[in-house]
Amino acid sequence: MKSALSKSTIYIVLSAGAILMLLPFVWMISTSLKASNEVMSMPPAWIPSEWKFSNFAEALKVAPFDRYFLNSVIVTILSTIGELLTTILAAYAFSRIQFFGKNVVFAVLLGTMMVPSEVLLIPNFVTLSNLGWIDSYKALVVPWVASVFAIFLLRQYFLGIPKELSYAAKVDGCSEFKFLWYVMTPLAKPALITVALLKVINSWNAFLWPLIVTNTQELRTLPVGLSAFTTEAGVKYELLMAASTMVVLPMIILFFILQKYVVAGVARSGLKG
């Protein structure tokens, strides 16, 4: 009886938390379908009196969202591929290869996670400016092709893979790189999907960095493009919410498709540390 009551309490608390998390998304979708005179009405209306699906078409005309979408796709794909490559190589080195100062280097890397990203904005901007990369795809992609958190996550996953596989592969004449590519990488599929999904979401939703390093419309990404709905005359909330819905929806769908891999990747990465 006590156990059943405890489980019921947990389910109630989790359900309440889920509802609170969903409310902003429900309000965003609801507002995207409202008329302009109904957006700020009091008391607020959760269900529009008139469903304005035309808001989505109008939102696409405010700014060149086709270009923003293409830029977001390019930046997301390139940065994700780059991070996966650097993460796989670094995680394998820290988990399987013995070299002088490995633990010290890894501890220093973990220490960098405590540095707020805002602190690095000016140094990174100055560096890219000296390289002449401002307002280019290189500025949007290169600084984010490595992640200490991703390396840590994959390293923990690699540590959970039996070392006997490595010994057997070496007996068969397999090199370190072939063992990594043909054995370790396929076994780490859940962790790699987790790393990729987190990177895709972060790159797709990035706002501050693309805003700083781009000067022209041709290189703006979707989150930066949403600022087009804020003008001197005010904010067109119904169009802003319509555009925001189109920006957020792909990530929500992607997460629901891959969520089982994310759970498996995070769970397995905590087996050894």
pLDDT at res. 257: 82
In this structure, is residue 40 part of a structural domain?
no
Q: Are 165 and 183 in contact (CB under 8 A)?
A: yes
pLDDT at res. 265: 62
pLDDT at res. 86: 94
pLDDT at res. 89: 92
In this structure, is residue 249 part of a structural domain?
yes
In this structure, is residue 90 part of a structural domain?
yes
The tens place of each residue's pLDDT in the chain, 273 residues long, gives: 556 667 788 888 888 888 888 888 888 888 888 887 777 777 777 888 778 888 888 888 887 888 899 999 999 999 999 999 999 999 999 988 888 888 899 999 888 888 888 888 889 999 999 998 998 899 999 999 989 999 998 988 888 888 888 778 777 778 888 888 888 888 888 888 888 988 998 999 888 899 899 888 888 898 888 887 776 556 778 888 888 888 888 888 887 887 777 666 666 655 444
In this structure, is residue 76 part of a structural domain?
yes
> In sequence order, what DSSP letters do the residues of 16-85 get, joined into one string?
HHHHHHHHHHHHHHHHHTS-GGGTT-SS--SS-SS--THHHHHHHHHTTHHHHHHHHHHHHHHHHHHHHH
Alpha helices in the chain (DSSP H): 2-32, 54-62, 65-96, 102-111, 121-131, 137-141, 148-159, 164-171, 176-179, 185-187, 189-205, 208-213, 222-225, 237-269
pLDDT at res. 82: 93
**What CATH number is attached to the domain comprising 230?**
1.10.3720.10
In this structure, is residue 231 part of a structural domain?
yes
Provide the domain limits for residue 227: 60-269
Q: Are 263 and 152 in contact (CB under 8 A)?
A: no
**Is the entire prediction scored with pTM above 0.85?**
no
In this structure, is residue 38 part of a structural domain?
no
